[in-house]
Amino acid sequence: MPATHDPKTPAWPPRSAPRLFVADELDMGSIIAIEGNQAHYLSRVMRVGEGDIVILCDDITGEWAARISSVGKRRIEAEAVERLRAREAVPDFWLCPALVKKDRFDLILEKATELGVARIRPVTTRRAVVDKLNAERARTVTVEAAEQCARTALPVVDAPEKLDALLRDWPQDRTLYFADETGGEPASAAFARYKVPAALLIGPEGGFDDAERAAIRALPQAVPIGLGPRILRAETAAIAATAMWMAVAGDWAA
């Protein structure tokens, strides 16, 4: 190691090392090819060169330090040199948000990733003004959130499904909390009663309609919850209730 003016040992991995999720499973000595936007980001934005260290995650084995072995115009290669952390465990909690407008739904995806949601199951409902989700964009948002926050686990993001279909096949052992504008048990008390496995269903702007609400309430696993006296926007309800679940029934107190 060359002498430096810094009397302390340099941090390992370097604090400035870029962090990326890659599609391939990582192993000691793996050579990983990085192409497309990620290659552009590394070479043009972060200006990495041969020998530099990057942090790679694969959402399978965890987080690795990798050393850049070649920098081409469109392709960068890096060799995995040390596993830094195993893929983290997250609580067995699903978020089932009704689709809402793009920027608001992006916020749900970003914050759910940060908060440690294991799986996101978007739902289409009668009052929703949106019924499609761009899967590639959803992937980009969750990956960027995980890269920013040093998460080693990505949430699974399912294709949107109709509320009826979601309820029809609901797992017998999984509590389905749902934010009911017409009232329900205070969320913190309800969350403390049934912990994992659990899920949270959040309606669209304007809420579920009466028939939907009746269908949800008819599910034996459903527990209506209230989120206080103020009207919350859909994405605020999703973020607020997810944070509360993590605090009360997830791993915040562990």
Residues that bind a second copy (CB under 8 A): 107, 111, 114-116, 148-151, 186-189, 226-233, 236, 239-241, 243-244, 246-248, 250-254
In whole angstroms, give the CA distance from residue 203 to residue 178. 8
In the complex with a second copy, the residue whose CB is nearer, 74 or 233, is 233
Tokens of 190: 């309800």
Q: What is the dihedral of CA 110, 116, 120, 126, to 10 degrees?
A: -70
- Which CB, 15 or 44, lies closer to a second copy? 15
Residue 98 DSSP one-character state: B
CA distances from 79 to 21, 30, 54 (A): 14, 6, 10
**Shortest distance (Å) from residue 189 CB to a second copy:** 7
Nearer to a second copy, 19 or 139 (CB): 19
Distances from the Cα of 160 to the Cαs of 104, 120, 133, 211, in angstroms? 16, 9, 7, 20
Report strand pairing: 62-71 vs 75-86. Answer: antiparallel
Nearer to a second copy, 26 or 241 (CB): 241
**Nearest distance from C-beta of residue 248 to a second copy, angstroms:** 6
Whichever of 107 and 215 has its CB closer to a second copy, that residue is: 107
Residue 115 C-beta: closest distance to a second copy, Å: 7
| Smallest distance from a second copy to CB 111, Å | 6
DSSP 3-state of 79: strand
Of 194 and 252, CB closest to a second copy: 252
How far is Cα 174 from Cα 38, in angstroms, rounded to an integer? Answer: 38
Nearest to 144 by CA among 14, 250, 41: 41
Closest CB 108 distance from a second copy, rounded Å: 12
- Minimum Å distance from CB 101 to a second copy? 13
Q: How far is the CB of 243 from a second copy (least distance, A)?
A: 3
Asked if 141 and 174 count as a contact pair (C-beta separation under 8 A), the reply is: no
Going from the C-alpha of 199 to that of each of 20, 32, 148, 165, the distances in angstroms are 29, 36, 25, 15
Give 122 or 184: the residue with its C-beta nearer to a second copy.
184
